[in-house]
Chains A and B, each alone.
Chain A
Amino acid sequence: MPHFLSLSLVCLLSSCGASTIPAGPIRARVVTADAQGFYPNKVVEFKYLQDVRHVDGVIAVMRGQSVLNLDAPDSDQISGDPNKIFVKNGSQVHTDTFVDQHNVINAKNFDSLAMLSTYYAFEQIVDFWITNYDFTLQEIGKFNIYYDPQVQTKVDSATATITQRLNASYFPGLGDLFVWKTSRLEDIPFKMNPAVLGHEFGHKIFDIRFAHKSANFVYGQGASVNSLIQLKGINEGLADFMSWLFIQNVTLFTRSLDVEAFQDRIVPVAWTSASLLKDPSICVGSFYCKGSVLNSALHELSLAQNMSPLKVGTAMLQALPKFASDWQRYLSSDNFDYFYLLNRIANELAGNEKTLACTIFKKWFDDSINQAGLAKCL
């Protein structure tokens, strides 16, 4: 009985659980960088979130305490089967919040704030693609957002559990997103930066329209080493472009981490495909560097007279399934390059718009392989 009494007292002091969520649309205070690069704390209304306590809703559910198996063979990694990919597939998260006098939900700690902010950012991103590019919730599918996941690996008989920081990522095959633990080095936490999350969601869009959600398609058997590198660059360049379509800001991701590798991804970049081929040291981001040439070209085309981001974005999305057939046909070629995608995008445009696209693509992709590949563009 004394134990019950002391428990009652504790409950009295702490309310024994989350405060009651008000009826009607969920309004909560989140932090998110805006298009101007400011980082406001603002009250927003959620559209898809249904369960604040467990950060679960129509578009996604957040999962915590998951552990990826780093030792899983490649065939398991791309299988899309969580049982083969995870040591632990995670569990429900729990936010701690209170409701203020304006019926606004406020987080009590950083993790709760970060989870709500991340979810809100993904709501905005999903809504953007549905509203502007005719995606449906069914096509996108409900996805998992893994919050602060860990990876596990064995070294001899010892098991090491590692919590990576300083990143956000998309996992092909699973179709899920990972927001890794925040590092002291981040300014705006990656998981609260819509430009970063927009980029990762861009990989999901690429996955849906190009790979039909199959990781095996992207890492298909028979692909040459060169083809895989080119496709990685295309994937990254398009993800950056899709992030820009959403947020309309070319520098916002650097507000999280202002390092050279990120600076090199601000478009328009200072190099073309030919100058990059001649001197790869002008950029530090490996295949990202050529991806940024693609992003620069699409960005320039979007801002050209009589063109718009919507037009170019639509052409890109329509081109992706056709580019996928090119990939299947030519993935073993040592000369597989960006021109397959560029031709497909140009072909989605007509008349002067196509002429303009070809001119811009030829300007940015001025190396011999792409010039030859783009010869019939006009």
Chain B
Amino acid sequence: MQRFYHVFWLFIAVAYAPWVKADFSEQPLHHFFNSRLLKANEAKLNLNYIGSVEYGLSENLEVGTSVLLSIGSIPNFLLKHRMFILGPTETSFTSFTLIFPGQYIGGKRFTGSASAQGVVTSYDVNSELSLNVGPMHAYSLLNTKNQSAGFGDVRTQVELEVYAALVGLDYYLSSNWGVTAFVLIPFYANLNEIGDFGDANASLFPNLTSYEQDNLVLFVSMTRTWEQFNFEFGVVNFAKTTFPYLAAYWRI
């Protein structure tokens, strides 16, 4: 806890340093759960948990990848495409795909893929507040093969599919402080397992009205921007557990 306060006060000191001069109006908050794209030829180097690099190929298309995951032999790519702008709303397709060509995780060899995608609409309520809403979809199909005593190679295929509604906001406290918050509300999830010993199918959220916090993904963060450099800190709450989120990124 003491370490947290050290970091917190250091951050406050840096955030209010007199040399700060930055502006969100030039580059609004940019993340997976809103519709904003990088500008053409703009690059973003993100030092978060997965260390991603993103690049604006055009005004309407950006691509990216997580360098750290790639180093870990998990090829992956980010894609964001602006679909259309209608008045104060902007709608984009956003996706992140991971490919498992044969990784060993927990002693088992995995092949397959996992992806998350959605169509997010950002609505500018005013110059300070944007609402982000849209359907999100996550899908993974993983095959495992491991040795089982007496049975030789035993194969299992696990398919997980989740549909969720995204409701979030980006709020600009000032020209260099922004808040991002969102909740993912799953409304359909299904698990399919096919194995040599048996198959299983589980509808994970059969009762759509019984939303409990355990089923939701909650995220809140604050971002401080200094022109090209941004620092973000926040928390993610998922499955009864809260994780800290920290990221430092440059937009060049």
Contact = CB atoms under 8 A, between A and B. Distances in A.
Contact of A260 (B150, B196, B206): B150
Given A158-B204, A165-B198, 5 more contacts: A158-B203, A161-B202, A162-B198, A164-B197, A184-B196
A158 B155 CA distance: 25
A161 B154 CA distance: 21
B243 interface: no
Contacts of A1: none
B247 to A, nearest CB: 33
B24 interface: no
A165 B202 contact: no
B202 A159 contact: yes
Given A157-B207, A158-B203, A261-B150, A163 B198 contact: yes
Nearest to A180: B198
Contact of A185 (B154, B201, B204): B154
Contacts of B210: 157
Interface in B148-195: 149-152, 154-155, 191, 195
Contact of B200 (A163, A166, A183, A185): A163
A160 interface: yes
Interface string A243-261: 0000000000000000111
Interface in A229-268: 259-261
Contacts of B204: 158
Interface of A: 155, 157-166, 181, 183-185, 259-261
28 contacts: A157-B205, A157-B206, A157-B207, A157-B210, A158-B202, A158-B204, A159-B202, A159-B203, A160-B201, A161-B200, A161-B201, A162-B199, A163-B199, A163-B200, A164-B197, A165-B195, A165-B196, A165-B197, A165-B199, A166-B197, A181-B198, A183-B196, A183-B197, A184-B155, A184-B196, A185-B196, A259-B150, A261-B150
Nearest to B214: A156
A181 B197 CA distance: 9
Tell me which of A162, A181, A261 has the highest count of chain B C-beta atoms within 10 A of its own C-beta. Answer: A162
A156 to B, nearest CB: 9
Contacts, number: 53
- Size class of the B contact interface (CB-based, 8 Å): 20 to 34
A241 to B, nearest CB: 24
B149 to A, nearest CB: 8
Given A184-B155, A261-B150, A166 B196 contact: yes
A66 to B, nearest CB: 15
Contacts of B152: 185
A181 B191 CA distance: 20
Contacts of B150: 259-261
Interface of B: 149-152, 154-155, 191, 195-207, 210
Nearest to B154: A185
B209 to A, nearest CB: 11
B59 to A, nearest CB: 44
A163 B199 CA distance: 5
Given A162-B198, A164-B197, A165-B196, A185 B203 contact: no
Contacts of A164: 197-198
A261 B207 CA distance: 42
A162 B191 CA distance: 11
A162 B205 CA distance: 17
Contacts of A259: 150-151
B203 to A, nearest CB: 6
Contacts of B155: 184
Sort A-B residue pairs by CB-CB distance and give the 9 closest, nearest first.
Answer: A160-B202, A259-B150, A163-B199, A164-B198, A162-B200, A165-B198, A158-B204, A185-B196, A183-B196
Nearest to B149: A260
A158 B154 contact: no
A161 B194 CA distance: 12
Contacts of A181: 198-199
A65 to B, nearest CB: 14
Contacts of B195: 165
A160 B197 contact: no
A327 B78 CA distance: 69
Contacts of A162: 198-201
Contacts of B198: 162-166, 181
Nearest to B210: A157
B101 to A, nearest CB: 23
A41 to B, nearest CB: 25
A266 to B, nearest CB: 15
A161 B205 CA distance: 14
Contacts of A160: 191, 200-202
